[in-house]
Amino acid sequence: MTATVSGRTGPPTAAAPLGVAVLGYSFMGKAHSNAWRNVNAFYDSSAVAQRVLVGRDADRVAAAAGRYGWAGSATDWRSVLERDDIHIVDICTPGHLHAELAAAALEAGKHVLVEKPLANSVAEAELMAAAAERAAAGGTFAMVGFNYRRVPALALARQLIAEGRLGTLRQLRIAYLQDWLTDPAAPMTWRLRRETAGSGALGDLASHAVDQVHFLTGARVASVSAQLRTFVPERAGGTGPEPVTVDDAVWSTLQLDSGAVVSLEASRCATGRKNALQIEVYGSRGSLRFDLERLNELHYYDAGAPAALQGAARILVTEESHPYLAAWWPPGHTLGWDHTFTSQAADFLAAIAGGVQPEPSFADGLAVQRVLDAVERSAARAGAAVELPAGTHTTPQTAATAVEPHR
Amino acid sequence: MTATVSGRTGPPTAAAPLGVAVLGYSFMGKAHSNAWRNVNAFYDSSAVAQRVLVGRDADRVAAAAGRYGWAGSATDWRSVLERDDIHIVDICTPGHLHAELAAAALEAGKHVLVEKPLANSVAEAELMAAAAERAAAGGTFAMVGFNYRRVPALALARQLIAEGRLGTLRQLRIAYLQDWLTDPAAPMTWRLRRETAGSGALGDLASHAVDQVHFLTGARVASVSAQLRTFVPERAGGTGPEPVTVDDAVWSTLQLDSGAVVSLEASRCATGRKNALQIEVYGSRGSLRFDLERLNELHYYDAGAPAALQGAARILVTEESHPYLAAWWPPGHTLGWDHTFTSQAADFLAAIAGGVQPEPSFADGLAVQRVLDAVERSAARAGAAVELPAGTHTTPQTAATAVEPHR
Amino acid sequence: MTATVSGRTGPPTAAAPLGVAVLGYSFMGKAHSNAWRNVNAFYDSSAVAQRVLVGRDADRVAAAAGRYGWAGSATDWRSVLERDDIHIVDICTPGHLHAELAAAALEAGKHVLVEKPLANSVAEAELMAAAAERAAAGGTFAMVGFNYRRVPALALARQLIAEGRLGTLRQLRIAYLQDWLTDPAAPMTWRLRRETAGSGALGDLASHAVDQVHFLTGARVASVSAQLRTFVPERAGGTGPEPVTVDDAVWSTLQLDSGAVVSLEASRCATGRKNALQIEVYGSRGSLRFDLERLNELHYYDAGAPAALQGAARILVTEESHPYLAAWWPPGHTLGWDHTFTSQAADFLAAIAGGVQPEPSFADGLAVQRVLDAVERSAARAGAAVELPAGTHTTPQTAATAVEPHR
Amino acid sequence: MTATVSGRTGPPTAAAPLGVAVLGYSFMGKAHSNAWRNVNAFYDSSAVAQRVLVGRDADRVAAAAGRYGWAGSATDWRSVLERDDIHIVDICTPGHLHAELAAAALEAGKHVLVEKPLANSVAEAELMAAAAERAAAGGTFAMVGFNYRRVPALALARQLIAEGRLGTLRQLRIAYLQDWLTDPAAPMTWRLRRETAGSGALGDLASHAVDQVHFLTGARVASVSAQLRTFVPERAGGTGPEPVTVDDAVWSTLQLDSGAVVSLEASRCATGRKNALQIEVYGSRGSLRFDLERLNELHYYDAGAPAALQGAARILVTEESHPYLAAWWPPGHTLGWDHTFTSQAADFLAAIAGGVQPEPSFADGLAVQRVLDAVERSAARAGAAVELPAGTHTTPQTAATAVEPHR
């Protein structure tokens, strides 16, 4: 297959790198900037150039651009889409802006990376997936930033499952627990308003968890039974108390079309848990355990080992043979949370260079959105199961790591 | 209050101890025998005498009686109930026999301890609770053996919650995970037949978890949304394949009348988990974490500590100031699973000696049974919530430890 | 081989059990009493009868005897040695009495179990080992109570090493850490006086660690470099401040004759460590890790596993196939600290019944004592290495578990 | 105080940044390049420009320079020292080159950062410390790269100790364990030859550990008792077997002038340990525990907490109030190994900007070297203690973090 990069002939080089624009300069903008600044240092990716950081406040975005290594800054995203030297648009804004920005960028022939969740609603996500499908036909690609697919331990987990080491998967237990809303005095933010965030722990945290279900198992969610709860219904806004219009926590049981059952919960009120995406996978031949707070570790239990020696092995996922690790440091030299974004950028660049659909695609993002929607519908019906139609599955999945690290 | 022990004047002494009969001599019979053999060595309880072990097979029960320290054995439980030197009947048979045996023993004026779960159905449990209430009026007491109430770490957890150290409880996460049915080649047993066991992971494992919800929070389950699953529907019986008629795993979300939400699941197919009753309690001011596989430890997170010092403290629950521990060994000298039965016997004896209702009562056992029943009804309705009527609550609960250890 | 039990014909039976006397009724007396009370319930050992508990204070020893299940009590140990119905004498007194009591008991034809360490000096230990050797020739046996040899996880560790799973052993790291002397206000006890205790952390804690070196590796200590320290030189005694004449902590490096090197330290001032005997064994093909505070677990790293899957497996040592476990409970039902004494009693009884030398023998206890002595001599020379002569090795070691549990 | 940066008036700006040269482009060169590329994105440091990467192989250093973000590359370090646009020289070569390069760079008026250990011998280190002292008088500064001082958890540990939270320090247990030499088939490298590496685990690993002793306690090593061992004396070189002339492992006991005792060992043959710098600090009022394989965590035991609640708290050191963390990500978003170099660069820049001596200084590096030397001398004398003269102490230490992160 001939890899053709949109609008250009031949692969990008240091002399003619792929120009990148990031929209948004706060938490996610900082994390994505870090990825673009570092990706060429670790991966044999296409050369990239940090062209422009885009935000609403001219002074603040200019200052951020200076810090984070951008050649310039801008406040008008439309003009950025018109620039010939921009090949990639990376969207790190709140969720309610994703659909418009992504559609416009794809329309303008830019490859698009959108921070998760893909959108605030199924309707938006469907529009985006359709736009992405059209663009892909012309060699312009879109990806959604479920960065935890690039945690080496989770990529390894997927490999072990795909190799059959766990046998038939029966149960998954997934919880994504944080505690930044434990204190009722924690103030309002855009993340606690339905119109900007879409939902609460559901969209912010459970979306990662649902994507991991898809990523790890390759199966589809067939039905959902769920509950939602807002523990603190009102918080201090700029001008007095303001209602919290999203959930603080979510509980769900997912039936997969493979026959496995998943318990999946998320909370921002789990006192003492800072960023605990905890995943357990139980199969007929083995099991896996992971906690994002110790992201360099994967625990693997092999039920085929001699009975007296069976035990969950703590694999320190820092070996050269582990996914992504050859790009980084010697064994035992651990990675941090932000390295996942760098690897994500590398995978995105590799797919673009290869002319193949990067994963997770907008269709994958839509699949997550459908599950989140089913959660809300089931919760509205006191937990009664909501079926998800077949045929709305994610794209077929290929190898976890397609990129070549420096040797 | 004058403590009067049924049929006797004055407290039991070494010269005139309370006579005990245990019905059943396999796993639970062995564990309860161990408790009766050792309780007087650790606690200043009433003196007890191991009079008789009862079972159906005369030779095997005689052999077991010899090993486990019983003065004699018997096959006819009715004749045992007629003996004047038996004051306590401890029922360790499969669940379908609990109701008849317990009712007859109470009728005969014996104090009764019944291994959990109380019964195989709500109807049986209601009869038993009624019988226990009648007997208690005459100073004869009944208790159900949710022995994990006597795990020192869990008794400590309850204390910390009762003291308000966690603030308002918001969420509990409870899972009871075992893996002895992971292998499809594991054979049929009475535990896998509905007529003898009532249910599977639900009655065997989730019952402990539900009792802990009651024990730790003091709240009532108001509604239940649940799912059940049998992963291996057929297993090798004595004469060929036999259908498994109970669940392998259960998932549920419980709404408590206090406003807290509990995710509670149990499985016998959780590969690599041997006896993992894992409990997490999240409150507005702190949280707790426990795992039965490390039963001497309780993790306590104090959200009121200085921000830079907050962290879950691993408390090794072996200090003299911890519940039950003064009876045992110096700090750091850990207890095992079976010690919970000895402490349970001590609590039972203390309540009898004090003329007060031992806990958990049959009413507490019935409350658990109602939740298990609601789980089955919700599962039959695809997870739709089932409400539990108020006014069916457990008895008010007093201090966790009423017994005096040797000093 | 025909097993002949001293002074008796045929094996002991329930009708004619082996009579046991325990000397000492405080901490160790309680623990050993517990073992004798329970050994026949778990192991197919010779039947034993708890005949007499011996102590200096008539009232207190009588009370203890009543609690712990003894038929009687006594204050005069010499008269106990004259009784025909006593076959086993179990010595749980402070160390300075071990030699006299053990020699007299052996002389009287009693099998002898002595709590560790064997003695307070090499000279005493040599006398005891000689006495034991003489007695053994006549079928009367002596054992020293290094009970941690009966921790299932450590017995498993020894098996794995003996099977070659770790390859060539290179390094061991052993620390035995407690903290009951952290507080300078902790009062004087016999354990802090040289004349009663012999030494401090050295004899009390490091002795266990040294015995584990022998037990796990089968090698001999060839040279020792060590340091001792007393952090709190004076403590409150009954009549005012009293000098502490033993060490609070010890550090040592041991060269084994096998070529391995051991770092071994012990402390009673390791704040936060309650009973942390931590053992790490590193070999050319694998490693092991153990902590007595989690005594049901052994961590095993197999360097021969596929590179991407290597990790230390947490083995929950509760499987029927693990040492000692068939006697106890199903998988996942953990043991406590005190169970090691019950298994120790079973091993002792099995050796007596089989007419073979129980392990660890007094010679093994002497070997430990020689190392402790070398530690003191090296410490007196500012760490300069002290050589230990060859030919003073422990007895050859046989299988870790020789006893049959009930099936 | 007026901060004056060598040869420049006023602080560096983006327009006139501090020019940096790194010497060496393999493992450490990559890590240091990463730090210079990222430091301005996280810290309000002086602006830096990555001017030149220096190495012996022109093609390979040019390729590395391209990847790691350098403006250019060079093979002749002397010419680099002559450039006016180079203000900082960062030396990442093997140890035997440190002294010459550092002295020349300081002579040329460049600020110098040298990767640890400072040198291969005390003599070299003394020359370097003297050169650094002369340069400092003129406002040119030198620092040695013990990057683990910038692990947030260790910086926090130092704070807690300095605040007196542990009371009087009594014992430290430090081990630095790796396993890349476990396999006898692992080949020769410059790190295994005395002439290039100076020593083995001693200089490479134990040097970090010794620096942590200085950093955490502020005390001086007064005497040393130690052992060295080479487990695999010969390895495959380019032209056949070659003798390993450095140690594989080291064991030592250090007496501090404060009265505390440190056990310190290091190994490259600790099978299963990848990068385990494990530090335990025991004081009269509390204790700390750290493992570099879980570098975001610090375990703190407060012996002043209520008895029933005492336990080692696992602090996830990712809060804004923790050292360095305000520069990075929200709570729970963990850092990796390489972030320590970025923070190290920030601290170095802050000291330069402030005109103060950066820490650890060459004098601090010399202090470490003296301890390493004493280890070798004690080992040569079979462990006999070697005294270290007073008056050779490290520079007084100031606050752990002097730099301001972006807010």
Which residues from chain B sit within 8 angstroms of residue D312, using beta carbons?
313-314
pLDDT surpassing 70 at residue A397: no
Q: Where are the domains of chain B?
A: 18-147, 151-387
pLDDT for C16 equals 87
State which CATH number among 3.40.190.10, 1.10.1200.10, 3.40.50.740, 3.30.360.10 fits the domain covering D149-350+359-387. 3.30.360.10
pLDDT tens readout for residues D207-233: 999 999 999 999 999 999 999 999 999
* Averaged pLDDT, D22-42: 97
pLDDT surpassing 70 at residue D399: no
pLDDT tens readout for residues A283-319: 999 999 999 999 999 999 999 999 999 999 999 999 9
| pLDDT over 70 percentage in chain D | 92
pLDDT for D181 equals 97
Q: What are phi and psi of A270, to 5 degrees?
A: -90, 85
* Averaged pLDDT, D45-50: 97
**Inter-chain contacts counted by CB atoms under 8 A, chains C and D:** 126
Burial B45-61 (b: 16+ CB within 10 A, else e): bbbbbbbbbbbeeeeeb
* Averaged pLDDT, B136-156: 98
pLDDT tens readout for residues D63-79: 999 999 999 999 999 99
Give the Cα separation of A37 and A348 in Å (integer). Answer: 15
- Best residue in C156, C161, C297, C315 for a mutation probing chain A (most A CBs within 10 Å): C315
pLDDT surpassing 50 at residue B119: yes
pLDDT for D102 equals 98
* Averaged pLDDT, B78-84: 97
Which residues from chain B sit within 8 angstroms of residue A283, using beta carbons?
271
Q: Which parts of chain C register pLDDT below 50? A: 1-10, 393-404, 406-407
Return the SS3 of A71: coil
pLDDT for A12 equals 61
Q: Which residues of A touch D (CB under 8 A)?
A: 14, 27, 30-31, 33-34, 37-38, 40-41, 66-69, 178, 180, 273-276, 292-296, 316, 318, 328-339, 406
pLDDT for B391 equals 62
Give the Cα separation of D52 and D30 in Å (integer). Answer: 13
Superfamily name and number for B151-387: Dihydrodipicolinate Reductase; domain 2 (3.30.360.10)
* CATH architecture of residue range(s) C151-336+360-387: 2-Layer Sandwich (3.30)
The answer to whether the CB atoms of C14 and B66 lie below 8 A apart is yes
pLDDT for A8 equals 37
Which residues from chain C sit within 8 angstroms of residue D383, using beta carbons?
225, 253, 378, 383-385
CA of C389, closest CA in chain B: separation in Å? 36
8 Å CB contact between B224 and B371 = yes
Q: Does domain B18-147 have CATH number 3.40.50.720?
A: yes
Which residues from chain D sit within 8 angstroms of residue A295, using beta carbons?
334
pLDDT for A10 equals 46
Reading the block at residue B394, the tokens are 């457990």
- pTM, whole model, 2 decimals? 0.95
**Positive or negative: CA dihedral A326, A332, A336, A337:** positive
CA of A154, closest CA in chain C: separation in Å? 13
CA of C312, closest CA in chain D: separation in Å? 7
8 Å CB contact between B263 and B173 = yes
pLDDT for B254 equals 98
* Averaged pLDDT, B301-318: 97
Q: What is the ipTM of this complex?
A: 0.93
Average pLDDT, whole number, for chain D? Answer: 93
CA of D132, closest CA in chain C: separation in Å? 36
Q: Which residues of C touch D (CB under 8 A)?
A: 166, 170-171, 173, 175, 179, 182-184, 223, 225, 227, 229, 231, 249, 251, 253, 255, 261, 263, 265, 267, 269-273, 280, 282-287, 301, 303, 310-312, 378, 381-385
Burial class (CB in 10 A: 0-12, 13-18, 19+), C183: middle
pLDDT for B400 equals 37
pLDDT for B12 equals 61
pLDDT for C13 equals 65
* Averaged pLDDT, B183-199: 94
Which residues from chain A sit within 8 angstroms of residue D273, using beta carbons?
332
Report which of A125, A381, A133, A367 is spatially closest to residue A257, judged by C-alpha positions. A367
* Averaged pLDDT, B239-261: 97
What's the CATH code, domain A150-387? 3.30.360.10
The answer to whether the CB atoms of C319 and A311 lie below 8 A apart is no
Which residues from chain B sit within 8 angstroms of residue D318, using beta carbons?
none
* Averaged pLDDT, D105-131: 97
pLDDT surpassing 60 at residue A407: no
Nearest to A274 among D34, D294, D318 (CB): D318
Nearest to D293 among A34, A178, A316 (CB): A316
Q: What are phi and psi of A78, to 5 degrees?
A: -65, -40
Burial A66-80 (b: 16+ CB within 10 A, else e): bbbbbeebbeebeeb
Contacts of B222 (CB under 8 A, 6+ apart): B255, B256, B257, B387, B388, B390
Q: Which residues of A touch B (CB under 8 A)?
A: 166, 170-171, 173, 175, 179, 182-184, 223, 225, 227, 229, 231, 249, 251, 253, 255, 261, 263, 265, 267, 269-273, 280, 282-287, 301, 303, 310-312, 378, 381-385
The answer to whether the CB atoms of B313 and D313 lie below 8 A apart is yes
CA of A110, closest CA in chain D: separation in Å? 25
pLDDT surpassing 80 at residue A163: yes
The answer to whether the CB atoms of B286 and A270 lie below 8 A apart is no
pLDDT for C390 equals 83
pLDDT tens readout for residues A58-100: 999 999 999 999 999 999 999 999 999 999 999 999 999 999 9
Q: Which residue in the block uniquely carries the two structure tokens 């885009």?
A: A54
**Positive or negative: CA dihedral B97, B98, B103, B104:** positive
Which residues from chain A sit within 8 angstroms of residue B170, using beta carbons?
231, 249, 269
8 Å CB contact between B283 and B171 = no
DSSP state of C47: P
- Cα angle C226-C228-C229, degrees, rounded to a multiple of 5: 150
Give the Cα separation of D175 and D250 in Å (integer). Answer: 10
pLDDT tens readout for residues C384-396: 999 998 865 444 4
pLDDT tens readout for residues D239-291: 999 999 999 999 999 999 999 999 999 999 999 999 999 999 999 999 999 99
pLDDT for C316 equals 98
8 Å CB contact between C333 and B337 = yes
| pLDDT over 70 percentage in chain A | 92
Give the Cα separation of A58 and A63 in Å (integer). Answer: 9
pLDDT tens readout for residues D244-253: 999 999 999 9
pLDDT for A349 equals 98
pLDDT surpassing 50 at residue B189: yes
CA of C8, closest CA in chain A: separation in Å? 39
Domains C18-147 and C151-336+360-387 share a fold: no
| pLDDT over 90 percentage in chain A | 91
If pLDDT is split at 50, 70 and 90, which confidence band does D16 have? Answer: confident
The answer to whether the CB atoms of B287 and A272 lie below 8 A apart is yes
